[in-house]
Structure 1
Amino acid sequence: MKHPQYWLLLKIAKSPKAFTFGAGLLIAALLALASATSIWWLDEARTSEKHENAIQTMQAVLAESADLLQHLATHGNLDCGHISLVHLNTHLLQSRFLREIGILDADDRLVCSSAVGRLPHPVKGNYPASTSLSGIKILVDVPLQMANKKVNATILQQGGFNAVVSPHITEDVYSSADAVWLRGATSLELLRPISAKADTLMHMRERAARASGTATHRQGLGYELITSAPDIDLVLQTQRRAGAIIQDNELLLAALLMGSVVIAALAAGTLAPYVTRLGAVQHRVRFLCREEHLVLLYQPIFDLASGKPIGCEVLMRLKEENTIWMPDQLIPTLLAAGLTKPLDYAVTRKAMRELSSLLPVQPEPFHVALNYFPASIDYEKLSTQFASQETVRKDIQICIEITEHSLSSELAREVKAFKEQGFLIAIDDFGTGYSNLKSVTNLSPNVLKIDKSLVFELEEATIRSNLIPEIVSIARAVDAMIVAEGIEKLEQVQLLADLGVQFGQGYALARPMKIKPFLAFLREKTSQAQACT
């Protein structure tokens, strides 16, 4: 399974435009979600404010009404006479919320009021009444004639008197919520009927009865807000569906969504160059240094005199789905990221595992050349990569290749430790640097590998190719074997042999192969050799 971060980086590399577009869509979606959340929060805040204002208004209305009704009840001698009516109107003028005061007889019939005086006949209104916990009887939507207008008023009754609340005040309260409940002695009573099914109304009543203070319940994409106060017997309940919220805030929501799209488009444009850079291989190379991405190729090394394979050089490619990365493409990135050591060690483990398990037992030591960056030549750490293999083959001779450019005194100390443990040391790409006999003698390598650029110009006898005899002389002086790289023409084999070069590799002899074709190639060469003998 791919690492999630690598999977994402690979997707970005494949489709940077699609990723940028997707990022823009995601930003737009998040902004749209934030916009919708803001609208929902704003709508809830407005509903809560309506409830709070209505509660505060009714607290003031009930407080004023209760004080007045209690005062009138204790007065004792009020009747429908002129003085009593003047007294009622005096209180009415001092009131903020009341528009009429009436006197009731023992049967709760209205006998006179501050507005019309004594009635010809006592009036008994047959209207539904609810009684609060505090004992005030409330009649809702009572039809009255006030200021030459027919209105539906709310009347409060207590102690033989009633008070008519200003219809404007009560309408504001009733319109502030879907349901206005009054706490009675046994249950909540709905002050004004609402259009709802019986079971819906029952559940609303249950939730309102359980609520304390302000409570919000999520209902799908909408919400229900219930508001009450400890010193008032009213409970307000409002349900807001998503459709209603959108409809009431459509202009603001449209503006926010349009702004979200514009911001997302600008963000996507800003992200585009960063996404392109993020898709570069340097951001994925640390994942490519794992064994599952390694493609190992084995290029045979031949004895030029007999044509017999005596070993191989392990070459590495990095596979990323259908893409093959050559080492030269990634070396700068690997060096910059400090990943040369993990890569070299992964190559070592995989190569030794494949060869140890699949290579037939060899009658003579089979040389396996492995290339290493200078930082990887650490005896304590690198030797464990060989020792960790399940099977240590005595017929496999490991040759550690280092480039001529990497020679240093620190490297020489590590090389010495490897040589003491029986490893071969080869200087790769020899002839391209500034090594002399003294520096090579100090390192005392087992193998000098002639750089392919010298072999390429061999037939033309150029100045560069004329260095080969000098390299042969240096190799003989330090008792090192010589391997020529980059043999691309069969004619070069004899020329090299004539110059004293013992071994060689190149496309003219055999191309690099994966492990199974490589083993088949060795079997074929072995069969040919046996047939000749």
Structure 2
Amino acid sequence: MSFAVLATLTGALYVSNAASERQLRQQIDAFSSRALLRADQVTAEVVEALRHLEPYDGTPCSNEHLQALREAEEQFRYIREVGWTDGVRLRCTAQRGNVDVVLPPPEWTYGQDVTAWQTEGGQRGNEQRMLNVRLGNHVVVIDPRFYLDIVPLDDTIALAVLETQDGVVISRSPHADAGLARAALQRQAASLYFDGRYYIAVRSQRFPIAVVAYEPEDRLRANLFAQLRTALPWALVLSALGTWLVLRWGHKLRTPRHAILEGIRRRQFVAWLQPIVSLESGRCIGAEALARWKLEDGTFVTPDTFVPMAESLGLIQPVTDEIVRSVFEGVGALLARRPDLHVSINLAGDDLGGMRVLDTLNAALAKYAVRPEQIWFEAIERALMDTAISAPVLEAFRTAGHRVFIDDFGTGYSSLSYLHELPVDGIKIERSFIGPLPDGEELNKIVPHIIEMARSLGLAIVAEGVETEAQAHYLRERGVQYAQGWRYAKAMPPDEFLHYLEREAAPMQKA
């Protein structure tokens, strides 16, 4: 009988552990593939930026050339610096102008014409490695942390992005070991166990890069004999129950849903602010609240990663609540002092299904003594398709004193009749329409039509993604009132936004 119980229990534990191990391995494999997608995306932008600069044939480091470098730096979201080299020395950059710096030897090459190396960057006391990539005479600099800007499964998985020809580590999580990542890549196998760890290595089909992830083996493979000594007295029933619980809770604690719920519980979702300016005066009249997910190690996850996930999991409403909380904690006192300023908050489709957002907001308005008209709302077009549901909610927002704008206008289901059906105060022209201005002939036919449509209905207009004075002039001449974009300022934490306003006010105080 004892032998039968032991044999049955051993078999049950073996099957349970095998199933759990298989499931956890699949999750790590999927996580690695998602990390590779992000690495491919960042690398593709680096190559695109360099190809964009390559045809320049004017005078190197002239004012015209420096302006071209600045525009390229602003155009590509992951690029942090752009420069020009004569092949031996770096001669100028978009941010520093003319310089004279000896180029270090490349750490690796891509094809016949792309080289790359890493240098120290960042502010004093907060230095970090920056990635430099050169094509021809132009160099772009990127923060390698962008390669790992994904939602982590847990704090035991180590992750690294490597160049595959020479094994140079481009980026890695804080606790990842570069030597272990290189060793896993050199073994060529897609996944394997060695040295007490489980490794997965996935290679890009587009670029000479790979992602290596590893986790301690004992997190995936349980000690069968230790389990037997503990579990034998409880026999088969408790063994089966334990197996079920291990599978169920092990899966739950490593899902994106659990990660987002933990982020909400730990108040990791915060609002950064991007200034909105008056095109007429050039002064800041408010800001858009942009969501960020601040992880425990201090890194940030961008909304294009977690917002679709939160929406699909039905968790976007509590995330919106956290953004509202963060806005008032960061600039509530400022708004109370400055009634001329506003903050614009984005609404998802689920937020437009009822009055819950107003209930959350009213408590914050009362606590910080902020006027309702200082909080604007933005809703993307696709969230407003069912006007029978969304129109009454938007009308309730306006009745409460808030202004409502249609975000990313022109990318969804825009029409004159559509605008007639919705109680809104204005529109925001999507950045893809602004980028080619004023030279893109095709879009120049669309943008005036959008402006005229809004003006005919008496709607205010905000242009997103304004990066050059030429774009601002084009919009100002056609009656657009407001703009936001890197021409004025990037998104920033609330404390930096306060300093931004102080710097803006300084010249007026001196006058």
2:379 pairs, out of 402, 413, 432, with 402
Assess if the C-alpha contact under 8 Å between 2:158 and 2:214 holds in 1. no
Q: Which residue of 2 aligns with 1:459?
A: 438
1:449: Cα distance to partner?
A: 0.3
The one of 340, 343, 346 aligned to 1:365: 340
Structure 1 distance, partners of 2:284, 2:393, is 29
Q: How does 1:327-406 map to 2 (within 5 A)?
A: 327-359=303-335, 361-362=337-338, 364-378=339-353, 380-389=355-364, 390-394=367-371, 397-406=374-383
**What is the DSSP-based 3-state SS (H/G/I as helix, E as strand, rest coil) of the residue aligned with 2:332?**
helix
State the partner residue of 1:314: 289
1:70-149 matches, cutoff 5 A = none
Deviations 1:391-430 (A, max 9, x none): 2313861111001122222101100111111110000000
Q: Secondary structure at the match of 1:388?
A: helix
Give the whole-Å Cα distance in 2 for the aligned partners of 1:291 and 1:480. 39
Q: Which residue of 2 aligns with 1:304?
A: 279
Paired residues for 1:199-214 under 5 Å:
none
Cα distance in 1 between the residues matched to 2:388 and 2:317: 19
8 Å CA contact retained: 1:319, 1:325:
yes
AA at the equivalent of 1:463? E
Within 2, Cα distance between the matches of 1:275 and 1:291?
A: 21
TM superposition shift of 1:275:
7.4
Q: Equivalent residue for 2:409?
A: 430
Q: Is the 8 A contact 1:426 1:449 kept in 2?
A: yes
Matched residues in 1 for 2:395 and 2:318: separation?
Answer: 22
**In 1, Cα distance between equivalents of 2:157 and 2:318:** 25
Distance 1:502 1:283, change over 3 A: same
2:508 aligned partner, one-letter code: A
Q: How far apart, in 2, do the equivalents of 1:483 and 1:318 lie? A: 26
In the alignment, the residues of structure 1 paired with residue 509 and residue 155 of structure 2 have an alpha-carbon distance, to the nearest angstrom, of 50
Q: Which amino acid aligns with 2:293?
A: L
Letter in 2 for 1:24: R
- Structure showing greater radius of gyration is 1
What is the rounded CA distance, in whole Å, between the counterparts of 1:29 and 1:11 in structure 2? Answer: 22
Where 1:284 maps in the other structure, the secondary structure is helix
Q: Tell me the matched-pair count.
A: 296
Identify if the C-alpha distance between structure 1 residues 417 and 277 changes in structure 2 by more than 3 Å, giving closer, same or farther. closer
Contact 1:13 1:280 in 2 (8 A): no
3-state SS of 2:440 partner: coil
TM-score normalised by L of structure 2: 0.52
- What is the 5 A alignment of 1:212-361? 279=254, 281-290=256-265, 292-322=267-297, 323-359=299-335, 361=337
Distance 1:344 1:13, change over 3 A: farther
Change (3 A) 1:26 1:384: farther
Distance 1:8 1:437, change over 3 A: closer
Identity of aligned residues (%): 28
Q: CA deviation at 1:29?
A: 1.4
Give the direction of change, closer, same or farther, for the CA distance of 1:361–1:18 in structure 2 (3 Å limit).
Answer: same
Question: Please, which of 15, 24, 35 is the counterpart of residue 221 of structure 2?
Answer: 24
Instruction: Find the aligned partners of 2:486 and 2:356 in 1 and give their Cα distance.
Output: 34
Consecutive unaligned residues of structure 1, counting only runs of 5 or more, are 1-5, 39-267
After TM superposition, the structure 1 stretch with the greater mean CA deviation from structure 2, 374-383 or 304-313, is 374-383
Q: Is the 8 A contact 1:290 1:343 kept in 2?
A: no
| 2:480 partner SS | coil
Query: In structure 2, how many angstroms separate the alpha carbons of the residues matched to 1:275 and 1:462?
Result: 55
| Residue identity opposite 2:469 in structure 1 | L
Unmatched 5+ residue regions in structure 2? 1-150, 160-211, 236-242
